[in-house]
Amino acid sequence: GAGVSQSPSNKVTEKGKDVELRCDPISGHTALYWYRQSLGQGLEFLIYFQGNSAPDKSGLPSDRFSAERTGGSVSTLTIQRTQQEDSAVYLCASSLGAAGYYQETQYFGPGTRLLVL
Amino acid sequence: SQKIEQNSEALNIQEGKTATLTCNYTNYSPAYLQWYRQDPGRGPVFLLLIRENEKEKRKERLKVTFDTTLKQSLFHITASQPADSATYLCALVNAGNNRKLIWGLGTSLAVNP
């Protein structure tokens, strides 16, 4: 019955390094979303996974960003060659993804705070 | 251009009063609209959903209205408490693109004892 979990909770890295952020969705949720939230900015959609369908990657800001979802459960967001402008809170959310899912609500994890020095 | 706007200024009210938060949108045709609460250092938490054919939705001390003519949703907290202090986000799903929530920047609410 646990909620969405994310790790690490905080990450400090040097410019140019790669980072991996992990998301464990709620068990049974087939839809998974990644967002980025910067200070004073709204939630920025990054990528969406739904079951076995091809992910919607339309929000990824550059080809340095990629995400995977293994076994329809855990997801990893990878940022290669990090830049200072990548500093933000990265939030993961999951939802049921059932038929009629357009009315679904999203359940968020606590986020990973990324600081690129 | 498409916009979803919430009051950028923080709202300060006295405990026991009704807080009213506004969400306006431009050049969207929302299938539905949601309100979330976000506390510092946490992810947003879902509060209420209202569909395009609904005028009002209530849940305990919360009430949401949706006026598609004015292109506006209002979020009310009655008998406000200091524990209601948080940032409140509205998000909509545009008709025809039902997988992606489009988010406002949120309005910060402070309820003073």
Query: Would you call B88 exposed, middle or buried from its count of C-beta atoms within 10 A (0-12, 13-18, 19+)?
Result: buried
Tokens in use for A55? 């992910």
- Position A1 scores a pLDDT of 54
- Residues A2 and A18: their CA atoms lie apart, in Å, by 29
Q: Phi/psi of residue A85, each to 5°? A: -70, -5
Query: How many angstroms separate the Cα of A31 from the Cα of each of A54, B81, B86?
Result: 12, 34, 27
Q: Which residues of chain B have pLDDT under 70?
A: 96-99
8 Å CB contact between B36 and B46: yes
Query: How many angstroms separate the Cα of B30 from the Cα of each of A20, A42, B22, B47, B71?
Result: 34, 18, 16, 18, 9
Tokens in use for A35? 């967002």
Query: How many angstroms separate the Cα of A117 from the Cα of each of A15, A17, A80?
Result: 6, 10, 14
CA dihedral A25, A43, B32, A48 (to 10 degrees): -40
- Position A66 scores a pLDDT of 97
- Position B112 scores a pLDDT of 95
Closest Cα in chain B to A32: B99
- Position B101 scores a pLDDT of 83
Q: Does B42 sit within 8 Å of A111, measured CB to CB? A: yes
How confident is the model over B23-52, as pLDDT tens digits? Answer: 999 998 888 899 999 999 899 999 999 988
- Position B106 scores a pLDDT of 94
Task: State how far residue A17 is from chain B, nearest Cα, in angstroms.
Answer: 25
Q: Does B99 sit within 8 Å of A48, measured CB to CB? A: yes
Q: Higher pLDDT residue, A11 or A1?
A: A11
Q: Does A50 sit within 8 Å of B99, measured CB to CB? A: yes
Interval A27-55 mean pLDDT? 89
How confident is the model over A74-112, as pLDDT tens digits? Answer: 999 999 999 999 999 999 999 887 655 455 789 999 999
B42 CB-near residues (< 8 Å, 6+ apart): A108, A110, A111
- Position A103 scores a pLDDT of 58
- Residues B43 and B48: their CA atoms lie apart, in Å, by 16
Q: Higher pLDDT residue, A29 or A99?
A: A29
Chosen from A35, A105, A112, A113 to mutate, greatest number of chain B CBs within 10 A: A105
